[in-house]
Amino acid sequence: MSPWRASSPARRSGPEGVCQLSISAPKPAIAGWKHAKSWAYSITYDEALADLDQFVLRVHHELGLPGHVEVVASQIGQVRDVGGSSYDGYRHMAADELRNIAAAGWGIGCHSWSHQRVMDDPDLELRVARETIEQAVGVPVTVFTAPGSNDNLTPEVVERLSGSGYLAGMSITDDINRVDGDALPWVNRVPLHERYWGVFDSAFDPWKRLRQAQVEHGWIVDYCHCPLETAAHDYKDCTAAHHRERLEAVVSEGGAECWYANPDDVIDYLHLKRHTRIEPCGSGFRVSIEALPERVQRRELTFEISGVLAPEALSVQVDGAAVTLFGPRAGCAAFTAGVRDGTIIAVADGRLRG
C-alpha cells in the first residue's frame, strides 16, 4: 500500500533533454512559512541603544527569541545626537556590541545615516549608511528601517532600496504582513507604545494583532525603541514591564505554531518563495529559481507533501541526500532544505527501498 492517497500517474512527454515524469508521488508545495509554521513573529528596536542591555536582552534570552536592531550609521558608539529626539543623550551601541548580538542570532538593520530626511541625500542615507554598518559589524545589512515616519519610505525611497542593497523597507504602518509576501519590499510594523497618538488615542495592549496573525497566517513585526522602567516617551516606547508582558503573550499564544524569527530570515524566505517554482522532472521534481535578488542570504525552503497517509514511510532526497521529515499536521509530511536553481527532489515510498 502506498503511503499517499491513490491518484492517477502523471505522464509528460517532450523532446530529448526535457524532463519527463511517470510517478504517482504527490508534488511538494512550498510552505507559507519556514518549518511549516502557521504564523510568524519578529520584533525590532529602533536606534540600537546600549540600554537594551538593562531589560530587553534578558527577556529575549529567557524566552529564546531573536530580535533586530535598527542602526543610525553616523551614531555608532556615540552618545546619540540627531537634533531634538527623545533618545538624544542615550548611547548608541558600539560596533563590538552590535557584533555580539549578531553572533547571538539577532539581525541588524539600517535606520539611515542621520535620522533626517532621506531624500535630501538618498545615496548617503541609504547606500553609504548601509555600507558603513556592514563594515563596522561584519554582517550583511539588507533591511532599511524608515526613520521618523513613513515620509521616509515614500515611493521615491522604495524605488531606490534595491539599487542601494536592500531587500525590504520597514515602515511604521500598524498591520500584519501577509503570507504571500506580495507587499515586499514594504514591511508593516506594529507599534509597542504606552499610548498611540492621533485621532484614536489608545493604550498599550499586550495582545495586539495576535489573533489576526493566527487567523490570517500572517507575520507580525513589532517595533519599539528601548523599553526601560519608565518609557522615554509614551508615544514612542513601552515600559520594560509591558515589553515583557507582550513577549510572554506572544509565546503563550504562539506555542509551537509560530515561527519566532529574525526579520532578515523571514524576508529572505519570502523572496526565495516568490522566485521559486517546482516542476515535474524525470522521477522527481526540479526546483527552478529565477531572478532571485543576489542579496538574499539564507536559501532554505520548507516543502509540504499533502495527502500522506503514512508520513513515516516516505523517503525524500534533495540533490541525492536524504532529508528528515516531520508531520506539521494530520495527513501532511514536511521537510526543510537548502535549494538552488536546478535542485532535484525525489519522493518515494521508503518501505519499498532496499
Question: Is the overall model pTM greater than 0.85, yes or no?
Answer: yes
Does residue 352 have a pLDDT over 90?
A: no
The C-alpha atoms of residue 34 and residue 337 are separated, in whole angstroms, by: 10
- Judge contact between 42 and 221, C-beta under 8 A: yes
Residue that terminates a domain, selected from 266, 294, 316:
266
Considering the chain, what percentage of its residues have pLDDT values greater than 90? 80
Beta strands across the sheet bearing 276-281: 276-281, 284-289, 344-349, 314-318, 321-322
Does residue 36 have a pLDDT over 60?
A: yes
Are 310 and 229 members of one domain?
A: no
Provide mean pLDDT across the span 90-109. 97
Give the pLDDT score at 350: 55
Are 228 and 305 members of one domain?
A: no
Residue 159 domain-assigned (yes or no): yes
Does residue 17 have a pLDDT over 80?
A: no
Are 253 and 112 members of one domain?
A: yes
Q: Which helix (H) or strand (E) holds 160?
A: helix 155-161
Are 50 and 111 members of one domain?
A: yes
Residue 3 domain-assigned (yes or no): no
Q: Count H helices, E strands: the chain?
A: 8, 22
Residue that terminates a domain, selected from 204, 231, 266:
266
Does residue 144 have a pLDDT over 90?
A: yes
Are 186 and 51 members of one domain?
A: yes
Kindly give the pairing relationship between strand 39-46 and strand 68-71. Answer: parallel
- The SS3 assignment for 138 reads coil
Residue 26 domain-assigned (yes or no): yes
Residue type, 333: A
Q: Is the model more confident about 105 or about 196?
A: 105
The C-alpha atoms of residue 170 and residue 179 are separated, in whole angstroms, by: 16
Burial 79-118, CB ≥16 within 10 A → b, else e: ebebeebebeebebbeeebbbebbeeebbbbbbbbbbbeb
**Residue in the block written with cell 539599487:** 163
Domain that holds residue 19: 10-30+275-352
Burial 179-215, CB ≥16 within 10 A → b, else e: bebeebbbbbbbbbbbbbeeeeeeebebebbbeebbe
Are 59 and 185 members of one domain?
A: yes
Q: Is the model more confident about 17 or about 170?
A: 170
Average pLDDT taken over every residue of the chain: 91
Give the pLDDT score at 90: 95
The C-alpha atoms of residue 116 and residue 148 are separated, in whole angstroms, by: 8
Give the pLDDT score at 348: 87
Q: Is the model more confident about 259 or about 313?
A: 259
Are 215 and 302 members of one domain?
A: no
Q: How many domains does the chain have?
A: 2
Q: Residue 202's domain is classified under what CATH number?
A: 3.20.20.370
The cell numbers describing 62, all together, are 529567557
Residue 4 domain-assigned (yes or no): no
- Judge contact between 287 and 278, C-beta under 8 A: yes
Q: Please, which residues have CB within 8 angstroms of residue 84's CB and are 6 or more apart in sequence?
A: none
Are 148 and 173 members of one domain?
A: yes
The C-alpha atoms of residue 161 and residue 122 are separated, in whole angstroms, by: 10
